Structure 1
């Protein structure tokens, strides 16, 4: 039986990949959750339409648009804490339509902060991204690393992060910033590299189309990212802090593809698809998280860390994508912008 904790938590972007997993975990942990989902005429709550039976109908849904300050105020009213995940995150699309990234990521964050300040919200956890660091100047990357806007997406997230910190410093709004490194797992969009590889292999393709394969990433299984959010939400020591959530394990895209093919028991060959390549100076060549601050302040550690943890996370991800009902929702033969 789920025991409800006092107070209500608003999760923006609850219909997305990480947001839906986070909403489920919060409900299972006993939180009273209001899930802010992007309004659409299909009355769809995104991935929350596919949430587990244990939590279905156990949370409130609010449909709106994070860019609308009045709608955001209505969503925030009556909530004690906010986990703000709503954002545009696809890097290729940010080359296509950068203006929408400013409106959604910066202005949307401002709307949340203004409402939180006005209604006296007790805690705001704002979601950053490892992309704000750009190509690593040193490794592992700690929170003091220089910020580099190498894409319109990362620039918009730098702006949103600074807006959040400014509210903490200017108005004492109780803000914490979580900075997840590359999260992967069930339900992730095909615009990300791991689902791109898995769905092509699962669809029977032997020639796998990718962009650059030499860059390295610090992949974080979604359960670890979710536990990071909850740890920051619960911790008073996180106020005013930026905290990396990463596995402290670096792996190249090439090795990632090879590991996935091994786990799936398929032979593949990788070809470079020019349309998937970022502009030369926009490619982030290296990401590797220093997660010591999360360990120190939150007592958080990744359960799926290291090489074997990565393989285990991939096995669980592959199992989900290999389900025909799940795979049918992806278009493996198309490049997802």
Structure 2
């Protein structure tokens, strides 16, 4: 699919991945409508920090993904949808699970209904590696069993199945992309990499973390946004689920050490109980098999392996250490 002559809607455009994706689409010269979460401050989230030439070439739609009427309005003149709007913080899902059902499942249903009604040509639905739970085999293929080990992951499984049902029931042209552990500039401190960088920048002698043994397949945000676009462009991805991962795993402890080496600091790590997931909810191992997305598109990660990972980490370190960026975060508080 050639996106150059398409009107593209990005939901969650004000968020971490969504803002990077929105900027990349605009830079490519595409016509983009950014769906941002309505608020009384008229904030566009991270898009407020985008270069002027990006903001001047965006159509902004402020609304709420949970509102079917607003969603229908946003979708009505669009050809392609990148659906990223979601609640994603796992700790917050433990005490407010209903909000995850409303946003992640019902919000996705609203998008699917509107896409079907308005004959959208392609809908890219965003999943997460968390739907797999702790790996039962590695690397994890798209056929791996799904396991909702947190209310967040359960809500994403529900959204994924809703997307699949619209494809099988109504031929809605849905492709599901399943990113593994995205990291990069602008990510909130609820994620481990920015938490590590900002703590090391402030006081490397007291690094507070949860469990150190789980492994993750980390992916630089530039690779993930490229994957979104490649999945949208490929007709072969309709009706499929594809992993977007680097095919490289590393433990949280080793991630902390890699960041410390790049920042040239000696660290002392303390495990805090409030940062721990409940024992049965912890996902202990994630490692992506990315052969399917490579077969269906021409995507390949540029930040793969340990050297690629360190390159991406250096980009993050440089960004978070910038005083104007660091002041945007409450680095002295645990962010759930």
Aligned length: 334
Instruction: Name the residue aligned to 2:118.
Output: 119
Query: SS in structure 2 opposite 1:5?
Result: helix
- TM-score, normalization by structure 2: 0.98
The one-character-per-residue Cα deviations of 1:212-232 (angstroms, maximum 9, x if unpaired) are 000000000000000000000
Residues of 1 paired with 2:121 and 2:67: CA distance?
22
Q: Which runs of 5+ in 2 are unaligned?
A: none
The one-character-per-residue Cα deviations of 1:172-202 (angstroms, maximum 9, x if unpaired) are 0000000000000000010000011001111
Residues of 1 paired with 2:170 and 2:180: CA distance?
29
**CA deviation after TM superposition for structure 1 residue 54, in Å:** 3.8
Instruction: Name the residue aligned to 1:144.
Output: 143
Instruction: Name the residue aligned to 2:46.
Output: 47
Instruction: Name the residue aligned to 1:21.
Output: 20
**CA deviation after TM superposition for structure 1 residue 7, in Å:** 2.0
**CA deviation after TM superposition for structure 1 residue 131, in Å:** 0.1
Instruction: Name the residue aligned to 2:105.
Output: 106
Instruction: Name the residue aligned to 1:254.
Output: 253
Map of 1:79-94 to 2, 5 A cutoff?
79-94=78-93
Query: SS in structure 2 opposite 1:244?
Result: strand
Query: SS in structure 1 opposite 2:78?
Result: coil
Query: SS in structure 2 opposite 1:55?
Result: helix
Instruction: Name the residue aligned to 2:55.
Output: 56
Instruction: Name the residue aligned to 2:222.
Output: 223
Query: SS in structure 2 opposite 1:82?
Result: strand
Q: Is the 8 A contact 2:303 2:311 kept in 1?
A: yes
**CA deviation after TM superposition for structure 1 residue 57, in Å:** 1.3
Q: Which runs of 5+ in 1 are unaligned?
A: none
The one-character-per-residue Cα deviations of 1:84-108 (angstroms, maximum 9, x if unpaired) are 0000000000001000000000000
- TM-score, normalization by structure 1: 0.98
**CA deviation after TM superposition for structure 1 residue 211, in Å:** 0.3
Residues of 2 paired with 1:235 and 1:37: CA distance?
26
Residues of 2 paired with 1:61 and 1:137: CA distance?
42
Residues of 2 paired with 1:288 and 1:193: CA distance?
17
**CA deviation after TM superposition for structure 1 residue 266, in Å:** 0.9
Map of 1:161-180 to 2, 5 A cutoff?
161-180=160-179
Residues of 2 paired with 1:199 and 1:179: CA distance?
27
**CA deviation after TM superposition for structure 1 residue 331, in Å:** 1.4
C-alpha RMSD of matched pairs (Å):
0.8
Query: SS in structure 1 opposite 2:270?
Result: strand
Instruction: Name the residue aligned to 1:77.
Output: 76
Instruction: Name the residue aligned to 2:322.
Output: 323
Instruction: Name the residue aligned to 1:299.
Output: 298
The one-character-per-residue Cα deviations of 1:286-322 (angstroms, maximum 9, x if unpaired) are 0000000011111211000000000000000110001
**CA deviation after TM superposition for structure 1 residue 56, in Å:** 2.4
Residues of 2 paired with 1:158 and 1:333: CA distance?
33
